[in-house]
């Protein structure tokens, strides 16, 4: 009979996300994972698989958390511009969070992997779709006379802006500058 786990898998995945956000997947050694997580190598491998499988599970977990945040914004915001602002603010806040100012794990992973890993790319594409759907939801509420295709193009434009802001923050742009870019970007949406 196997030993009982003394940890919650989601809590460990949350720690993995933090470590991979800070250092990147490729720059994180197995020894650093063991040390940071406070688990034995055998516990990590028996629960999550190898380092790559751990990455996939961490990306899935991050997508789940992000999707829940997007769903909450959709549920709680009746004003379309406010909802879009909240999505942008969620991204900027992640770049300057006092406990973990490492940006968006998804954007960081896109930059690190590009199209190298098909399974990771699929999770990243699904996350992109989640964000696009949330933005399209709010854009439809604006009652602009736009086709669905035009709404999706505008949502793609906004996601591109979010990614650019996250990358700029990672490159050293300060929070005020990022928020100014958000304001300028969203000025095209003034109704």
pLDDT at 26 over 80: yes
Token pair 């961490």: residue: 58
Q: Domains (ranges, CATH) in the chain?
A: 60-189 (1.10.357.10)
pLDDT average, residue stretch 5-27: 91
pTM of the model: 0.89
Q: Which tokens belong to 132?
A: 């696009």
- Reference 91, options 18, 188, 175; nearest CA is 175
d(CA 59, CA 37): 17
pLDDT at 149 over 90: no
Phi, psi (5° rounding) for residue 148?
-60, -40
In the chain, the percentage of residues whose pLDDT exceeds 70 is: 96
Q: Where does the pLDDT of residue 32 fall: very low under 50, low under 70, confident under 90, or very high at 90 and above?
A: very high
d(CA 90, CA 12): 23
- Answer with the residue of higher pLDDT: 29 or 143: 29
pLDDT in tens, 38-54: 999 999 999 999 999 99
Q: Where does the pLDDT of residue 101 fall: very low under 50, low under 70, confident under 90, or very high at 90 and above?
A: low
Q: Which tokens belong to 186?
A: 């969203």
């Amino acid at each position: 009979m196997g030993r009982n786990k003394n940890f919650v898998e989601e809590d460990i995945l949350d720690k993995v996300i933090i470590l991979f956000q800070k250092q990147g997947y490729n720059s994180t050694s197995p020894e650093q994972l063991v040390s940071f997580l406070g688990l034995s190598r055998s516990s990590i491998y028996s629960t999550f698989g190898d380092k790559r499988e751990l990455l996939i599970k961490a990306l899935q977990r991050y997508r789940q958390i992000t999707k829940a945040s997007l769903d909450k914004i959709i549920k709680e915001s009746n004003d379309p511009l406010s909802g879009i602002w909240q999505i942008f603010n969620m991204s900027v806040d992640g770049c300057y969070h006092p406990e973990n100012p490492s940006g968006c794990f998804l954007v960081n992973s896109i930059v690190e992997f590009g199209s190298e890993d098909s399974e990771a790319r699929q999770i990243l594409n699904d996350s992109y779709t989640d964000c696009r759907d949330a933005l399209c939801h709010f854009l439809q509420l604006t009652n602009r006379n736009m086709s669905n295709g035009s709404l999706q193009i505008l949502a793609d434009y906004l996601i591109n802006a979010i990614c650019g802001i996250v990358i700029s923050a990672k490159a050293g742009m300060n929070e005020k500058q990022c928020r100014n870019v958000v304001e300028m970007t969203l000025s095209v949406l003034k109704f």
